[in-house]
Amino acid sequence: MTKLKVCGMRNKENIQSLLEVQPDYMGFIFYEKSPRFVGEELDADFLLSFPRSVKKVGVFVNAHPDFILKNVKKYGLELVQLHGNETPEVCRGLRSRGLTIIKAFALDNNFNFARLNNYKSFCDYFLFDTKSESYGGTGQAFNWDILKNYDNEKPFFLSGGISPVHVEMITELKGMNMHAVDINSLFENEPGSKDVEKIKVFAKQLRQAFQVPHV
């Protein structure tokens, strides 16, 4: 069953409301140039008290390993999302420290999936986002047809401009090794503040669409 990741969280009250929706993953952005950068807003004790069913993902862009490890420990992050130009060696080094690694790639129609081969041994998941001048945050979806060129060897997160109207299109990817759908800006009232009611409806539709039928 495809899981749900809600990314770009930072406000305690907003996070508390979202926990009631029970997303599988909640993402926190540790990149200063992002409008959703957590800064000093995150309450570490609150994050450490999360239910085990909601996994915390730290999103980093070309960050020093020590900075990543410090925040993993401080906030109890279960996964690390590398959203920059990190090399396979960087992924290997972090994974050797016991971290679960999501490596993000920015896709356009010319993306060469052979690029992923050197990363496969050192990552647990891939994340496919829309190519842009910055690192994500475009609010635009890429052409999902190019995923037909992916070998499905490694489970992936589908990201980039996913909105409430995309559920039906997402179900067309059912045959793929899609681990989770990653939503962010198109479910916001403002950067870093999510419309929880909108997410609640989307989560219900997604879960119904991917329900395993009873035999």
Known catalytic residues?
7, 129
State whether the Cα torsion 190-74-203-31 is positive or negative.
positive
At 158, phi and psi to the nearest 5?
A: -95, 125
3-state helix, strand, coil in the chain (%, to 5): 35, 20, 45
CA 123 and chain centroid, separation: 14
Q: What angle is formed at CA 103 by the lines to CA 74 and CA 127, rounded to 5 degrees? A: 110
C-beta separation of 167 from 189 below 8 A: no
28 SS3 class = strand
Could you give the angle at which helices 12-19 and 196-209 cross, rounded to 10 degrees?
A: 30
Residue 98 Ramachandran class (φ > 0 left, ψ -120 to 50 alpha, else beta): left
Residue the block writes with tokens 């559920």: 167
For 130-167, b/e burial (b = at least 16 CB within 10 A) is bbeeebbbbeebbebeebeebeeebebbbbbbbeeebb
